[in-house]
Amino acid sequence: MVVNNVTLEAVAVAKDQYPIESYPEIAFVGRSNVGKSSLINAMVYRKAIARTSSTPGKTRTINFYNVEDKLYFVDLPGYGYAKTSKSESAKWGKMIEGYLHKRETLKRVVLLLDIRHEPSDNDRIMYEWLRHYRKEIIIAATKADKLGKQQVQKQIAVIKKALDLPDNAIIPFSGVTKNGRDELWGVIEDSLSY
Ligand code: GTP
Ligand code: MG
């Protein structure tokens, strides 16, 4: 997709702050610091429309990016950050689940996993939750620039095995080199056409 126009249309902590259901939505979920906001920036060819940080817990609201008046990219807070207080984690958990659960216009959920690591317990819980509720899932393995080619393949196999995924289910991605961007756009655009 050619992306010229992208705006942060809504910043929400509760349902009444979401945009009305209109364009198809692609949501990005994953543990804190995995690279959700960075991936959104790469996808819309912008450096910093979505705020990023080396400190986990940067995104604390549900942010709706209007892309070309065609779709929304929905940036969610991360889960599984150890230093977050229990009450804070629970609040974010509810917020994320509240969004994912009943949003009629939600087309795909992109689950981001750090390519260097085996999926965490929280990653597995999120993956199983998404499957249970019959969400259409895309898996992106982020920070692929941190590994060599062979290691990328090795880690893809590790993640595939851990979550029992089919072949070619994982898209290696890098917000640094932008590797994976075209492939991810391809999958997203396909999802919009039916
Ligand atoms: P929360 O908002 O806290 O949930 O985090 P997030 O998932 O949005 O992560 P964010 O995009 O803020 O990135 C976290 C850190 O990882 C930042 O320092 C990014 O620069 C870095 N990062 C993200 N993606 C990549 C990548 O593909 N490669 C490398 N090398 N670093 C990355
Ligand atoms: Mg973020």
> Quick one: pLDDT at residue 100?
95
pTM: 0.96
Q: Measured in angstroms, how far is the CA atom of residue 137 from the centroid of ligand 1? A: 20
Name the closest ligand to CA 55.
Answer: 1
Give the pLDDT score at 93: 82
- Specify the pLDDT at position 90: 77
- What structural domains does the chain harbor? 6-191 (3.40.50.300)
Which pLDDT score, from 0 to 100, does residue 194 have? 67
Q: Phi first, then psi: what are they for 157, rounded to 5°?
A: -65, -40
**Digitized pLDDT (tens) for each residue of the chain, 194 residues in all:** 899 999 999 999 999 999 999 999 999 999 999 999 999 999 999 999 999 999 888 888 999 999 999 999 999 999 887 667 777 777 778 889 999 998 999 999 999 999 999 999 999 999 999 999 999 999 999 999 999 999 999 999 999 999 999 999 999 999 999 999 999 999 999 999 86
The pLDDT of residue 82: 66
- pLDDT tens column, 163-176: 999 999 999 999 99
| CA atoms within 13 A of residue 129's CA, in its CB half-sphere | 16
Closest atom of ligand 1 to 52 CA is 12
Ligand 1 is surrounded, with C-beta below 6 A, by 30, 32-38, 52-54, 56-59, 77-78, 142-143, 145-146, 174-176
Going by CA atoms, what residue is nearest to atom 3 of ligand 1? 57
- The pLDDT value recorded for residue 132 is 94
The secondary structure of the chain, three-state, reads: CCCCCEEEEEEECCHHHCCCCCCCEEEEECECCCCHHHHHHHHCCCCCCCCCCCCCCCCCCEEEEEECCCEEEEECCCECCCCCCHHHHHHHHHHHHHHHHHCCCEEEEEEEEECCCCCCHHHHHHHHHHHHCCCCEEEEEECHHHCCHHHHHHHHHHHHHHHCCCCCCEEECCCCCCCCHHHHHHHHHHHHCC
User: Mean pLDDT over all residues of the chain?
Assistant: 94
Joined tokens for residue 24: 């198809």
Collect all residues with Cβ–Cβ distance below 8 Å to 99 and sequence separation of at least 6: 15, 18, 27, 62, 74, 76
Tell how far the Cα of 103 is from the centroid of ligand 2, in angstroms. Answer: 20
Taking each helix axis from N to C end, the angle separating 181-192 and 36-43, rounded to the nearest 10 degrees, works out to: 80
